[in-house]
Amino acid sequence: MTNGATFTVATLQERVEAIFKKAGLNKVQAGALARVLAAGERDHCKSHGVYRIEGALRTVKAGKVNPTAIPELVEQEASAIVRVDAKSGFSYPAFELGLPVLAERAHKHGLAALVVNDCSHFTALWPEVEAVTAYGLATLIMCPSYATVAPAGGTKPLLGTNPYAFGWPRENKPPYVFDFATSVAARGEIELHRRAGKQLPEGWAIDSEGNPTTDPETALAGAMLPFGGHKGSAISTMIELLAAIMIGDRTSPEVLDYLGTTTLSPMHGELILAFSPEAFSAGRPGNPFERAESFFEAIVAQGARLPSQRRFDARKKSESEGISLSAAEVELLDRLYEQ
């Protein structure tokens, strides 16, 4: 029986990159995936950490992602719309390629969009949010997924878990970031409950007849529910419109048709919007960054916490004490390297 182990961010990243390279991914794909998954473990975001490696490798084996893709910038000279063709590779390498151009255009025009097409997407959005805010820009990021969520009032999967994330840059502080699934919980959470043999909280899912269920297996075969009833359902629909239909890429039902399963990483597009707070507030009273700080102070003064604070605390701890993986997680890494 393997024991649990503690990794530094760098050693975990190396370990994950080695697994992906051994499975045939090129440096661009393997390196980017290792960065984003090690960051997930560092920030204790278990639903988008090392447990996701297996699904990514399954997707490679099924031929539903190009492991040696080199994403390409589809240059539209000086346009506020920057487009990257992921060439059927994973999303994060395509994002990394487009980011500096997005930032340059957002500072130039006041706002810009990065459209990523044809990417296999299984990661959390906050690493991308933080990367955009590092350029002093506010950002909104969204993408579809595959049809696993019933619209409010409906009974059958149609929407994806469609993540939606926002970031605001802060001087000498981590940015303000929220990042959530538009379903009550990410599908990764349901899968983690199933693996742990735990029941789901009530209100997360329905069975295939539309009845409430707390059994993860039944939930995976039925449908998840949108957060906030009709409100989450409408936001999720907006994501299908903006980050699938508008950018000429697959909607969540089309992704499911293409893959034929929810056990592989979904192939679709992604929309990243970037805003320059200075440009939007030009000529108006007050400094937007100072005003934002007063607003955050007012939130915290009530005893509330800012979103991502748990993550930033976890990050600090990981950076000083290392990232602890359980025996099962270390066995998973060993097995995936050996296979």
Known catalytic residues are 47-48, 189
By CB under 6 A, tell whether 186 contacts ligand PYC: yes
Q: How far is the CB of 318 from ligand NDP (least distance, A)?
A: 14
Beta bridge partners of 280: none
Q: How far is the CB of 116 from ligand NDP (least distance, A)?
A: 12
Torsion on CA atoms 277, 282, 284, 290, rounded to nearest 10:
40
Q: Which residues bind ligand NDP (CB under 6 A)?
A: 47-48, 121-126, 143, 145, 161, 163, 165, 178-181, 185-186, 189, 305, 307-311
Binding partner at 178 among ligand PYC, ligand NDP, none, C-beta below 5 to 8 Å by kind: ligand NDP
Tokens 């069975």 correspond to 207
Instruction: Find which of ligand NDP, ligand PYC, none residue 222 binds, CB within 5 to 8 Å per kind.
Output: none
Residues 6+ apart with CB under 8 A from 290: none
Six token digits for residue 289: 């960054």
In angstroms, give the least distance from the CB of 326 to ligand PYC: 20
Instruction: Please report, as a single letter, which amino acid is at residue 180.
Output: F
Is residue 272 a contact point for ligand PYC (CB under 6 A)?
no
Residue 111's Cβ-count burial label (10 Å; 0-12, 13-18, 19+) is: middle
Contact between 144 and ligand PYC (CB under 6 A)?
no
Which residues, other chains included, contact 208 with Cβ-Cβ below 8 Å and sequence gap of 6+?
218, 221, 222, 223
Among 51, 92, 122, 180, binds ligand PYC (CB under 6 A): 122
Which CB, 132 or 186, lies closer to ligand PYC?
186
Q: Which of 42, 187, 268, 315 binds ligand PYC (CB under 6 A)?
A: 187
Tell me the β-bridge partners of 43. none
For the CB of residue 165, give the shortest distance to ligand PYC in the complex, in Å. Answer: 13
* Under rule CB under 6 A, residue 161 binds ligand PYC: yes
Q: Which residues of 201-220 are buried (b: 16+ CB within 10 A; e: fewer)?
A: eeebbbeeeeeebeebeebb
The token duo for 103 is 């930032």
What CA–CA distance (Å, rounded) separates 265 from 261?
9
| Contact stretch for ligand PYC (CB under 6 A) within 164-172, 179-187, 198-206, 314-322 | 179-187
> Quick one: which of 133, 61, 145 has its CA closest to 99?
133
Q: Is 13 in the site for ligand PYC (CB under 6 A)?
A: no
Query: Which CB sits closer to ligand PYC, 38 or 224?
Result: 224
Give residue for tokens 């929220």.
Answer: 178
Binding status of residue 181 toward ligand PYC by CB under 6 A: yes
